[in-house]
Amino acid sequence: MNTANLQLEGLYLAIASVNHLLVRKGILSAEEIDTALRRAEANATADDHIIDDMSPANRDAVCFPIRFLQLANTSLSNGDIPSFSDLARMVAQVKEPYNDQM
């Protein structure tokens, strides 16, 4: 596996842990984090470059970290963040097609 991919896995888990800490300390709510992540995905998928120039697989790659963090955020209710592979699997399972794929 590419070393950069492994570094990104660690980064995603670190951000998920920081988000968890922000919620636990009452600085942000899980809903506020979810709203911010939904906005980030909406902004990313509304970009003309992404819509016009990227394949659906590449669009999924752009959205993967956002979706990963959303799922980590919704998993906070049980106290533990699932493993990277579990969250990545969940991202693939809940992914919906883009408008131009329907």
pLDDT tens-place string over residues 39-83: 999 988 887 777 778 888 888 888 999 999 999 998 866 667 888
Contact status, residue 17 vs residue 82, Cβ threshold 8 Å: no
pTM given for the model? 0.84
Q: Which residues contact 55 (CB under 8 A, 6 or more apart)?
A: none
- Nearest to residue 61, comparing CAs of 37, 31, 41, 36? 41
Residue 23 CA to residue 46 CA, distance in Å, equals 28
Instruction: List the single range of 15-19, 32-36, 73-77 with lowest mean pLDDT.
Output: 73-77
